[in-house]
Amino acid sequence: MPTLLLVAVAGFLAQLVDGSLGMGFGVTATTGLLAVGTAPVMASASVHLAKIGTAVVSGAAHWRMRNVDWRMVGWLALPGGLGGFLGASALSSVAAGSARGWMALLLVVLGSYVVLRFSAWSTPVRSSGLTAAGRRWLIPLGAVGGFVDSVGGGGWGPVTTSTLLSTGRILPRRTVGTVNTSELIVSLGATTGFLLHNGGSAWKWPVTLGLLIGGVVAAPLAAWLVRILPVRVLGVGAGGLIVFSNSRLLLDTVGVPQVPGVLLTTVLGLVWLSGLVWAIRSEILQRRSARLRAAEANEYGYAYETS
């Protein structure tokens, strides 16, 4: 029971991040499972089976909040499901020892991408929507995102959400809702692949159940938070945590001695904390500047009307 409760809390936090950012459930949950010694195939399989339930609830919540573009869901979801199936098949055929190192490397890359996407890169949103040609590019995007998601235990959001946001043509909340809704098909494809290659032994059932319970509880709250949450702070915080958590495992895999490894992870931790402080400070300054501009607009508008 204590294990189930702890995993449920982890699932709640992971879904809170994922439903607000459009990314993070898989990489966050898989990072925690790898840290406690779970085999890579079992970690990814457990996360994807849990994501079937969380995706249903999350998609319904985003639909109620009008955050979903159903045309984009169709273009993304089917190739994403195929990519998820192929990724699960590839991960199942790799030896557990080598898979652990490759998965840690992929999670470090994905975590770094999340940090950069929500700190250094900022694209103004014109909300004009994708053209027909642009929607066709969702097919290879979905396939790559689904494959990376299965192999890394997560990655659907970092690949698809970040790419769609970078176009500047889709509202962030619409992007997040669409990606979260499409994830149901991706998770079904990945779960089918793990089932065919590993049978029921692929899943750690208490972990899957805990992630499912926590994720389902958090999904409606996350769909609401996506409208009001400072995504810069959440993105830098979650991405940095993923990088920091997987760096130690990656260093151990490549054979870095303990003392240099501790020094490197300490430096990474300090860089992450500095970035988080910067993100919080930037958010405060941005909101203060917005209030000042609004106050000036009201003041000049009043003076104009009474002159």
Q: What is the pLDDT of residues 197-234, one digit of tens each?
A: 887 777 777 878 888 888 888 877 777 766 666 767 76
Q: Is residue 244 part of a domain?
A: no
Q: Is residue 255 part of a domain?
A: no
* Residue percentage of the chain with pLDDT more than 70: 83
pLDDT of residue 304: 44
Q: Chain-centre distance of CA 280, in angstroms?
A: 20
**What is the pTM (predicted TM-score) of this model?**
0.69
Check residues 95 and 284 and name the one with the higher pLDDT: 284
- Measured CA to CA, the distance from residue 14 to residue 53 in angstroms comes to 14
The DSSP call for residue 201 is: G
CB 40 within 8 A of CB 100: yes
CB 150 within 8 A of CB 202: no
> Looking at residues 52-76, what average pLDDT do you find?
86
Q: Is residue 270 part of a domain?
A: no
Q: Which of 212, 153, 193 is nearest to 27 (CA)?
A: 153
Chain position carrying tokens 């159940």: 209
The sign of the torsion formed by the CA atoms of 14, 15, 18, 21 equals negative
The pLDDT of residue 162 is above 90: no
Residue 21 pLDDT class (50, 70, 90 cuts): low
pLDDT of residue 32: 76
- Measured CA to CA, the distance from residue 181 to residue 18 in angstroms comes to 12
Instruction: Quote the domain boundaries for residue 14.
Output: 2-230
Residue 143 pLDDT class (50, 70, 90 cuts): very high
CB 243 within 8 A of CB 40: no
* Residue percentage of the chain with pLDDT more than 90: 10
Q: What number of residues does the chain have? A: 307
- Measured CA to CA, the distance from residue 172 to residue 178 in angstroms comes to 10
> Looking at residues 93-119, what average pLDDT do you find?
73
pLDDT of residue 305: 46
Q: Is residue 180 part of a domain?
A: yes
pLDDT of residue 129: 57
Q: Is residue 266 part of a domain?
A: no
If one counts the domains in the chain, the total is 1
Write the pLDDT tens digit of every residue in 231-287: 677 677 767 777 877 787 778 777 788 788 888 888 888 888 888 888 888 878 888
CB 21 within 8 A of CB 110: no
Q: Is residue 252 part of a domain?
A: no
- Measured CA to CA, the distance from residue 178 to residue 192 in angstroms comes to 22
The pLDDT of residue 192 is above 60: yes
Average pLDDT, the chain: 78
Residue 66: CA atoms inside 13 Å, Cβ hemisphere, count?
Answer: 1
Write the pLDDT tens digit of every residue in 32-47: 777 777 788 888 888 8
The pLDDT of residue 131 is above 80: no
- For every residue of 27-86, DSSP letters joined together read HHHHHHHHHTT--HHHHHHHHHHHHHHHHHHHHHHHHHTT---HHHHHHHHHHHHHHHHH
Check residues 123 and 146 and name the one with the higher pLDDT: 146
CB 219 within 8 A of CB 58: yes
Q: Is residue 193 part of a domain?
A: yes
CB 279 within 8 A of CB 122: no
CB 209 within 8 A of CB 74: no
Q: Is residue 249 part of a domain?
A: no
Structure tokens belonging to residue 211: 């992630």
Residue 186: CA atoms inside 13 Å, Cβ hemisphere, count?
Answer: 40
